[in-house]
Amino acid sequence: MKFAEFKKAGHWPTLLAAFLYFDISFMAWVALGPLMVYIAHDMNLAVSEKFTLVAIPVLAGALLRVPMGILADIIGAKRTGIIAQLIVTAATAWVWRYGLDSKLAIIIFGLVLGIGGASFAVALPQASRWYPPQYQGVVMGIAGAGNMGVVIDTMLAPTIAEHFGWQAVFGFLLIPMVLVLAYYVFAAKDAPGERKPISLKAYATLLRDPDSRWFMFFYFITFGGFVGLANALPLYFTVQYHVSGVAAGLLVSLIVAFGSGFRPVGGLIADRIGGIRSLSVLFAVVVAAYLVIAFMPEGPAAPTAAGWSLLQMPRIAWMSVLLFSVGVLALRMGNGAVFQLIPLRFRQDIGLMTGLVGCAGGVGGFFLAQALGTAKAATGGFGAGFLFFGALALLGFIGLAMVKVRWRTTWGAASGARV
């Protein structure tokens, strides 16, 4: 791919605005994950309850992606993005000022943060519609790489909470949120062309297509795995390996950073060798990573109540970090591969498919966090939860083998791109 040609092919200010919008919205969406240790400190919550609370924004974001996609097609992606950012910014400012004093308050705030997660259904189609088919993998990868916002959360939030209190974290988050909103208002543009109204009936019609269900399942695994781990791993490391909140945040930021920048790479590789081939390899890597992690033993108890610091952590914890890094890398590249294929199959319904597939991915993230909490409560360990999602990734691998011939000989052949 030649950068000069790519730059002329679409509208890069909108692509950058979509990236930043999704980035900052994702940052807000997963903010409860690294902070739950601190927020729930005085509420005497069980481990399973903590995993449920961090999963609520993920589920809300999943369910809101379809109505957000519909709204974007009715009033335009830019207006929808502005409204969504204003709501999330206002809620963040409220919590910064007044805090969260009950489980119900956390749930309500988590539901509002779900609007940030639903930005997926606005930002990605907004960028995609500006570019021709041969650039869809890299464009959707760039726009979707906004998931790097979670790195900001996990790296900085626990340290800020330790020194200034967890409420101050939301005050710090307001700074980039306001700056990105200003740039989005200035730079983002909706692609030319008439928008066709989309109804719930249109979604129901698309759901009857088996290809749409396959894409939803694949994204349930890849994006669900990523966002579920991003939310759950801070708690996982504090419970499984007894590390401090700050150390857990740094570990998760390392893992997520390792994978986040590779979504565009996954899209670019899929453009070159085909999404089916690349996604098959990535699913195999995910299966292996989940399988090994499921049988990793619990780490030794820390010498103090604060937990192991980063430099004191036992070797087993570092081995876990390596395995999660490899798994998240494959999941993120898998996201890019899925979205190399979707615009080729559903070019005229990219907004619809982004909403449906994004919803499935968010639901996957919710179930991963829930599965880990449920496994811990039922068995005393997290292994069963990882085995369950490893089995789903194996089913994804088998599913690709079942559809690849049909896809390559029908819409894949007609697309003119590698499938």
Q: What pLDDT, in 10s, does the model give residues 192-231?
A: 766 666 667 777 888 889 999 999 999 999 989 988 888 8
Q: Percentage of residues in the chain with pLDDT exceeding 90?
A: 34
The predicted pLDDT at position 144 comes to: 65
How far apart are the C-alpha atoms of 31 and 154, rounded to whole Å?
8
How far apart are the C-alpha atoms of 12 and 225, rounded to whole Å?
29
* pLDDT greater at residue 312 or residue 140: 312
How far apart are the C-alpha atoms of 173 and 180, rounded to whole Å?
11
Q: What is the pTM of this model?
A: 0.81
The predicted pLDDT at position 415 comes to: 75
8 Å CB contact between 132 and 108: no
The predicted pLDDT at position 45 comes to: 80
User: Nearest Cα to 350, choosing from 124, 162, 160, 175?
Assistant: 124
Q: What pLDDT, in 10s, does the model give residues 134-187?
A: 667 677 767 766 556 677 777 788 889 888 989 999 999 999 999 999 999 999
* pLDDT greater at residue 38 or residue 96: 96
**In the structure encoding, which two tokens stand for residue 128, read together?**
């995609």
The predicted pLDDT at position 131 comes to: 76
The CB density around residue 297, as the number of other CB atoms within 10 Å, is: 10
The predicted pLDDT at position 183 comes to: 95
**13-189+200-415: CATH class:** mainly alpha
Confidence band of 3 (pLDDT split at 50, 70, 90) = low
8 Å CB contact between 256 and 375: no
